[in-house]
Amino acid sequence: MRSSWIALVLVLFGLLPWHSQVAAQQSTEDTVSTDVINHEKLAWEAAKKKDKAALAKLLAEDFTEVIDDGVFDKVGILAYLDNVQLLSYSPGNFKAKKITPDVVLLIFQVTEDGKYKGHDFHAENNVASLWAKRDGKWQNVHFQETPIPK
């Protein structure tokens, strides 16, 4: 009986470092996901405020956006803000997929209300937003909105 107890204790102590490594990895992934989601929200807020300088800092130089109006690069999407007034937005159901330690794909849904060239709009979209850590900073590399089927 005593040898079984000693064996069990040795097995448990052997598993403790493994458990702490798994917990640390999960904690790191949660922190990265939260950080990227916060950057995504900053980008939405910059767009709402029409703060092109703040948005430009969050977009990679090779940024691409695909929306119902077309495909835009960084310069094009910043110019596009001149035609859009985002009055409200409500992102939710975030799922973060860590592709590599420095690349995260966010998938979420967003409801948007605003004006496009003076006309009211309401949109409910599925979104894929790809973020990469470059030179120590998270930057949005690709963004795509697709209408949620009714």
- Tell me the C-alpha distance between 102 and 133, whole Å: 5
3-state secondary structure (DSSP) of residue 11: helix
Indicate whether 116 pLDDT > 80. yes
What average pLDDT does this structure show over 46-65?
98
| Number of structural domains the chain divides into | 1
Plot region of 6 (φ>0 → left; ψ -120 to 50 → alpha; else → beta): alpha
In sequence order, what DSSP letters do the residues of 44-76 get, joined into one string?
HHHHHHT-HHHHHHHEEEEEEEEETTEEEEHHH
CATH number at residue 67: 3.10.450.50
Closest CA to 131 of 92, 98, 99, 105: 105
Under a CB-based contact definition with an 8 Å cutoff, are residues 92 and 44 in contact?
A: no
With residue 4 as reference, give the H or E element that holds it: helix 2-49
Per-chain mean pLDDT for the chain:
86
pLDDT of residue 2: 54
Cα(1)–Cα(145) distance, integer angstroms: 63
Residues 11-55: tens digit of each pLDDT? 444 544 544 444 444 444 588 899 999 999 999 999 999 999 999
* Reported pTM: 0.80
Rounded Cα distance, 146 and 150, in Å? 12
CA distances from 33 to 7, 107, 148 (A): 39, 11, 24
Question: 10 lies in which domain range?
Answer: 2-147
